[in-house]
C-alpha cells in the first residue's frame, strides 16, 4: 500500500525525461572514454617507437659510459692535485692576511690612543678656558661693582644735596 502512493506521485513524462537524460549522460561518458582509449593507444604506439630507438641508444651509452669512467678517473687525479695546490695557496694567503690584520690592529690601537690623548688634551684645554672665563667673569663682576660704588657715591651726594 505504501509503494502505490509513492509511485502514484511520479509522472510518467518526468520519469521518461529523466531516463532519456541519464542515457545521454551515459552515451557522452562512453564517447569520452572511447576518445581517451584512442588517445592512449596512440601514445602507446609512439612509446613503442621511442622504446625501440632508446634500446639502440643503450648500446652507444654503454660505450660512452666506459669512456666517461676513464675521463672521471683522470679528472679525480687532476682535481686532487689542484685541491692540494689550492690548500697550499690558501694557507699562504691566510698567513699573509693574518699578518696584515695584526698590523691593522696595531694601527687601530695607536689611533685609539691618539684619539684618547686628543680627548684628554681637548678636555684639559676646555677646562682651562672655562677657568679663565670664570676668572674673567669674576674680574668683570668685581670691576663693575667697584665702578658702580665709585660713581654711585657722588650721585647719591648730589641727590641728597638736591633734597635739602
Distance CA 95, CA 57 (A): 54
**pLDDT by residue (tens digit) across 47-71?**
998 888 888 888 888 889 999 999 9
Distance CA 57, CA 49 (A): 13
Q: Is the dihedral of CA 44, 46, 52, 56 positive or negative?
A: negative
Terminal C-alpha separation, the chain: 147
pLDDT confidence of residue 1 = 45
**Per DSSP, which regions of the chain are E strands?**
none
Domain boundaries, the chain: 2-118
The neighbour count for residue 96, using CB atoms within 10 Å, is 10
Q: What cell does 94 get?
A: 691566510
pLDDT confidence of residue 112 = 94
Identify the band that residue 154 occupies on the pLDDT scale cut at 50, 70 and 90.
Answer: low
Q: Is the pLDDT of residue 72 over 60?
A: yes
Distance CA 63, CA 17 (A): 69
Q: What are the Cα distances from residue 4, in Å, to 16, 17, 85, 104?
A: 18, 21, 98, 106
Q: What are the Cα distances from residue 123, in Å, to 110, 128, 129?
A: 20, 9, 10
Amino acid at each position: 500500500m505504501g509503494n502505490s502512493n509513492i509511485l502514484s506521485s511520479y509522472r510518467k513524462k518526468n520519469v521518461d525525461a529523466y531516463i532519456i537524460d541519464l542515457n545521454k549522460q551515459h552515451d557522452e561518458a562512453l564517447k569520452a572514454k572511447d576518445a581517451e582509449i584512442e588517445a592512449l593507444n596512440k601514445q602507446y604506439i609512439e612509446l613503442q617507437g621511442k622504446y625501440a630507438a632508446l634500446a639502440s641508444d643503450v648500446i652507444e651509452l654503454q660505450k660512452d659510459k666506459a669512456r666517461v669512467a676513464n675521463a672521471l678517473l683522470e679528472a679525480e687525479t687532476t682535481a686532487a692535485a689542484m685541491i692540494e695546490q689550492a690548500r697550499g695557496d690558501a694557507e699562504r694567503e691566510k698567513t699573509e692576511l693574518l699578518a696584515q690584520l695584526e698590523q691593522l690592529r696595531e694601527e687601530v690601537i695607536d689611533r685609539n690612543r691618539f684619539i684618547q690623548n686628543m680627548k684628554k688634551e681637548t678636555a684639559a684645554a676646555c677646562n682651562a678656558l672655562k677657568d679663565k672665563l670664570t676668572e674673567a667673569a669674576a674680574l668683570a663682576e668685581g670691576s663693575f661693582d667697584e665702578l658702580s660704588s665709585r660713581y654711585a657715591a657722588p650721585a647719591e651726594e648730589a641727590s641728597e644735596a638736591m633734597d635739602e
